[in-house]
């Protein structure tokens, strides 16, 4: 009986353990571990009925993917927490998650801001990217997007879209880098006022909006 148990041990291990070769890096895990995230690529692989026969022939599964990112993917199966590598850019990590069938919203809160940096930058560029015509009088207005241009269907205006952005620029110095620069400039200007005759105050010719929500363009 003891010899029988020893002879069956390798077969039991082969049926439980799975060897994954990702980009030349060998990873070994349990079949049950891969089933912890249903619907993902590895979970579907572990659920195949002929997996054991395939492993008997090939000894491992090979994926030509990023080996460094896969270490974080496999750790997600093991711990249930998805973290982002600090040395990998967001678009690459996003592409790898898509390949393995993992939802990006599963990223842990501690890594979410770092992961979203590229997406936020792309969205900001899309917002500030506008067509500027040859009319110099409208150039700056179009760059800021504050001119009242009605859309083709007659609904809404560009200012309506930009209104929250402009308000945050003047009200919340932490909303963006431009808002912080504006706050520092206004703080400097307010400290540079010079009293003149009749008790009046001379200011630099810069417009200061204390309550921008009460202003219309």
Domain count, the chain: 2
Q: Which of 124, 158, 189 is the last residue of a domain?
A: 124
129: in domain = no
> Which parts of the chain have pLDDT scores under 50?
1-14, 131-137, 144-146, 148-152, 154, 203-217
130: in domain = no
Instruction: Name 40's Cβ contacts closer than 8 Å, sequence gap at least 6.
Output: 100, 101, 102
Residue 198 pLDDT: 55
CA angle 10, 49, 22 (to 5 degrees): 70
172: in domain = yes
Looking at the structure, do residues 8 and 43 belong to the same domain, yes or no?
yes
Query: What is the end-to-end Cα distance of the chain in Å, rounded?
Result: 90
Strands (E), the chain: 17-22, 25-30, 61-63, 194-195, 201-202
Helices first, then strands: H and E counts in the chain = 10, 5
131: in domain = no
33: in domain = yes
3-state secondary structure 7-43: HHHHHHHHHHEEEEEECCEEEEEEHHHHCCCCCCHHH
Domain range for 160 = 136-214
Looking at the structure, do residues 57 and 119 belong to the same domain, yes or no?
yes
SS3 138: helix
Q: How many CB atoms lie within 10 A of CB 37?
A: 21
Whether the full predicted model's pTM is greater than 0.75, yes or no, is no
84: in domain = yes
Looking at the structure, do residues 57 and 85 belong to the same domain, yes or no?
yes
Looking at the structure, do residues 69 and 142 belong to the same domain, yes or no?
no
Q: Which of 61, 90, 124 is the last residue of a domain?
A: 124
CATH number at 93 reads: 3.30.710.10
Question: What are 26's two structure tokens?
Answer: 């060998």
Cα 189–chain centre separation: 37
Looking at the structure, do residues 11 and 96 belong to the same domain, yes or no?
yes
Looking at the structure, do residues 76 and 27 belong to the same domain, yes or no?
yes
Looking at the structure, do residues 61 and 41 belong to the same domain, yes or no?
yes
Q: What is the pLDDT of residues 54-100, one digit of tens each?
A: 666 667 889 999 999 999 999 999 999 999 998 888 889 999 999 99
CA distances from residue 115 to 53, 69, 99 in whole angstroms, order as listed: 39, 13, 17
């Amino acid at each position: 009986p003891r010899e029988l148990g020893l002879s069956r041990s390798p077969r039991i291990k082969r049926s439980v353990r799975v060897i994954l070769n990702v980009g030349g890096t060998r990873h070994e895990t349990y079949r049950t571990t891969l089933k912890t995230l249903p619907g993902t690529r590895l979970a579907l692989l572990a659920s195949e009925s002929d997996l054991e026969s395939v492993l008997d022939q090939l000894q491992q599964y090979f994926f030509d993917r990023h080996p460094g990112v896969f270490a974080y993917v496999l750790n997600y199966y093991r711990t249930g927490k998805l973290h982002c590598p600090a040395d990998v850019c967001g678009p690459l990590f996003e592409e790898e998650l898509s390949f393995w069938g993992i939802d990006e919203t599963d990223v842990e809160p501690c890594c979410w801001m770092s992961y979203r940096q590229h997406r936020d930058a792309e969205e900001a560029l899309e917002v500030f990217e506008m067509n500027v015509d040859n009319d110099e009088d409208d150039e700056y207005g179009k760059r800021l997007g504050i001119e009242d241009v009605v859309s083709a269907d007659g609904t809404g205006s560009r200012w309506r879209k930009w209104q929250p952005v402009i308000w945050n620029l003047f009200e919340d110095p932490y909303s963006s880098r431009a808002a912080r620069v504006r706050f520092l400039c206004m703080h400097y200007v307010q400290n540079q006022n010079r009293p003149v005759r009749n008790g009046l105050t001379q200011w630099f010719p810069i417009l200061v909006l204390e309550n921008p929500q009460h202003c219309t363009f």
